């Protein structure tokens, strides 16, 4: 690359880090948005579990309290997982020279968001809720993770579309 050509901002390796912050922030915001409905769904599911009917709901109430109090911290964990996954994907893209293309980094961000959408969907719609911990993870973490993954995928898709116009070297 000659000295007078600048690397465009959409091909910068800071985008996976920025998108990991978007992942964490959107998960936390969506966690608080869904918290009351998740708590009521959790309570209805727990009341129907045979183990709670036999042994009581003391441990289920403790688990509910943990998820209500500390569930938003899962956003930080998901943000870190997104950063790790996207930088590993970016490394693979660099090995096969896809980062030289205008859409390389943004497609890396898009591909890295898809496992979070899939995991959130699987947790929300296909997981068993046979124990209090499983029900807490499904109700409190599943929907926010799926929608946070969709937010990141949407932002990545917009950046992907913009990379064709603004991703070329100047």
DSSP of the chain, one letter per residue? --TTPPPPGGG-TTHHHHHHHHHHHHHHHHHHHHHHHHHHHHHHHHHH-HHHHHH-SHHHHHHHHHHHHHGGGHHHHHHHHHHHHHHHHHHHHHHTTGGGSTTHHHHHHHHHHHHHHHHHHHHHHH----SHHHHHHIIIIIHHHHHHHHHHHHHHHHHHHHHHHH-S--
Is 100 within the bounds of a domain? yes
What share of the chain has pLDDT > 90, as a percent? 52
Is 108 within the bounds of a domain? yes
Q: How many domains does the chain have?
A: 1
Among the listed ranges 49-53, 71-75, 151-155, 161-165, which one has the minimum average pLDDT value?
49-53
Is 7 within the bounds of a domain? no
Distance from chain centroid for Cα 91: 20
Give the pLDDT band of residue 5 (cuts 50, 70, 90).
low
Is 27 within the bounds of a domain? yes
- Render pLDDT for 19-47 as a digit per residue (tens, 0 to 9): 999 999 999 999 999 999 999 988 888 88
- Mean pLDDT, rounded, of the chain: 87
At 128 the pLDDT is: 79
Residues 72 and 88: their CA atoms lie apart, in Å, by: 25
Give the pLDDT band of residue 167 (cuts 50, 70, 90).
low
Cα radius of gyration (the chain)? 20
Is 9 within the bounds of a domain? no
Cβ atoms of 164 and 102 within 8 Å: the answer is yes
Give the pLDDT band of residue 56 (cuts 50, 70, 90).
low
What share of the chain has pLDDT > 70, as a percent? 88
At 32 the pLDDT is: 96
Is 63 within the bounds of a domain? yes
Is 5 within the bounds of a domain? no
At 1 the pLDDT is: 46
At 100 the pLDDT is: 82
Cβ atoms of 100 and 4 within 8 Å: the answer is no
Is 10 within the bounds of a domain? no
Q: Which domain holds residue 125?
A: 15-166
Highest mean pLDDT among 58-62, 63-67, 96-100, 144-148: 144-148
- Render pLDDT for 99-133 as a digit per residue (tens, 0 to 9): 888 888 889 999 999 999 999 999 988 887 778 88
At 6 the pLDDT is: 67
At 62 the pLDDT is: 87
Query: pTM for this structure?
Result: 0.86
């Amino acid at each position: 690359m000659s000295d007078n050509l600048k690397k465009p901002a959409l091909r910068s390796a800071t985008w996976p880090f920025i998108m990991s912050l978007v992942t964490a922030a959107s998960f936390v915001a969506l966690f608080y948005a869904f918290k009351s409905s998740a708590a009521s769904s959790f309570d209805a599911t727990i009341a129907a579990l045979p183990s709670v009917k036999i042994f009581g709901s003391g441990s289920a109430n403790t688990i509910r309290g943990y998820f209500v109090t500390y569930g938003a911290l899962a956003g930080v964990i998901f943000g870190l997982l997104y950063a790790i996954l996207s930088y590993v994907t970016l490394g693979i893209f660099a090995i096969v020279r896809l980062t030289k293309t205008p859409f390389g980094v943004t497609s890396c961000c898009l591909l890295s968001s898809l496992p979070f959408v899939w995991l959130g969907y699987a947790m929300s719609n296909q997981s068993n809720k046979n124990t209090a911990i499983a029900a807490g993870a499904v109700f409190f973490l599943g929907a926010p993770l799926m929608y946070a993954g969709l937010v990141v995928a949407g932002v990545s898709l917009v950046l992907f579309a913009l990379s064709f116009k603004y991703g070329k070297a100047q």
